[in-house]
Amino acid sequence: MVERDNVAEPKTGTDDIVGILKSRMIADALPLWSSEGWDSRVGGFVEKLDAQGNADLAAPRRVRVQARQIYCFAKAAQLGWYPQGGEIALKGLDYMLSKAKAPDGRPGFVHILASDGAVLNPLRDTYDHAFVLLALAALYQLDHDAQVRSEIDSLIGFFDIHLRSPDGGYSEGVPTSTPRRQNPQMHVFEALIATFDATHDQAFQARAGDLFGLFVSSLYDGQKRVLGEYFEQDWSRIEPVSVEPGHQAEWVWLLKGFERITGCPTSKHRALLLESALRYRDGTGCLVDEGDAEGNIVKSTRRCWPQTEIAKAWIAQAEAGQAGAADEARAALVRLDHHYLQHPVAGGWYDRFDAGGRSLVDAIPASTFYHVLCAIAEADRVLGA
């Protein structure tokens, strides 16, 4: 399928884009993913819908996606967008705890489940555990349930005993592997900020501080002004450096959150990351998937999630008072809507396009819901009426 009006100007105005996206999230996306996106036969969230919006009930289920969907519905309930979201999130948590937590008697959450709940991959993946923590934080912020707090404390113990690396940050998982990636560190950082917001426990603030230190010392290359993706065990960079502009944008938003909870200034790094991310755009104004450290585009495909993250980056800068950032944020949301969210299935999205504007993925992945909902929630919080 070729994207409609690939390089045409979006028709939706920027003035009303936040309200439009919020309304469609409430009216379309949340009902779709709570009904068709939930497996009513055996429980659990489905991994994807087909192009017509029907659940793929046979597809294996990544535990990170279970956690992301729990987060989305807990967040929607907290915002008052979808009051029944709390109940849906708790159903998801019950499924995840019963099927994915230590089913083989070893601590931690497994990596992938079959559609019937059997374990397909027993790896304990750090990226997955970051999202489990994020989901638990969102649920705890909703009603401060003691059992959820107990799960948070248990999970933090797993991070400390099994995932913390003597070289800094966290290993890739159990068993350990290389190369090391910045991506799991970034999402643990995100989850720790959210857990501090939910609990006001300064221990989580301090843990986030450790990862901020890793970002400054190792993940971010101050000389080349880019965020690295792949590293050796000792955090030395693997050359040539791969740059994912979507992650650079995501760090802009996360650093603003870290500054909010700690008072630690992050404006310099935010400005540099955003400036660098904006180098990797195509003719649509959207971020492409990958570049190099010199600013060249390496992969001209473009996924949906980087567009949500560049919107969040501009929203963070608008919240910080940067002139013109609010207008840039709204323009980024218009591009997101125009190129990705105008799907025939109301509440669905396109996942990836090639350089010619052809859709490369027929299915509607559940994993994108977290990105889209978070971008719209942040836009409403900072830019909404």
pLDDT single digits (tens) 257-281: 999 999 999 999 999 999 999 999 9
Q: Are 39 and 48 in contact (CB under 8 A)?
A: no
Confidence of residue 4 (pLDDT cuts 50, 70, 90): very low
Assess whether pLDDT exceeds 90 at residue 13: no
Per-residue model confidence as pLDDT tens digits over 30-89: 999 999 999 999 999 999 999 999 999 999 999 999 999 999 999 999 999 999 999 999
Using CA atoms, how far apart are residues 200 and 197, in angstroms rounded to an integer?
6
* Comma-separated ranges of CATH 1.50.10.10 domains in the chain: 1-35+240-385, 40-207
Q: Which pTM value belongs to this model?
A: 0.97
238 DSSP 8-state letter: P
Percentage of the residues of the chain whose pLDDT score is greater than 70: 97
Using CA atoms, how far apart are residues 238 and 241, in angstroms rounded to an integer?
6
Assess whether pLDDT exceeds 60 at residue 285: yes
Q: Write the CATH number of the domain with boundaries 1-35+240-385.
A: 1.50.10.10
Per-residue model confidence as pLDDT tens digits over 193-232: 999 999 999 999 999 999 999 999 999 999 999 999 999 9
Using CA atoms, how far apart are residues 312 and 269, in angstroms rounded to an integer?
15
Using CA atoms, how far apart are residues 41 and 277, in angstroms rounded to an integer?
43
Assess whether pLDDT exceeds 70 at residue 7: no
Q: How many CB atoms lie within 10 A of CB 195?
A: 27
Closest alpha carbon to 67 in 150, 126, 145: 126
Per-residue model confidence as pLDDT tens digits over 328-363: 999 999 999 999 999 999 999 999 999 999 999 999
On the CB side of 58, CA atoms within 13 Å amount to: 1
DSSP 352-369: EE-TTSBB---SEETTHH
Domain 40-207 is found in CATH 1.50.10.10: yes
Instruction: For the chain, give the mean pLDDT.
Output: 96
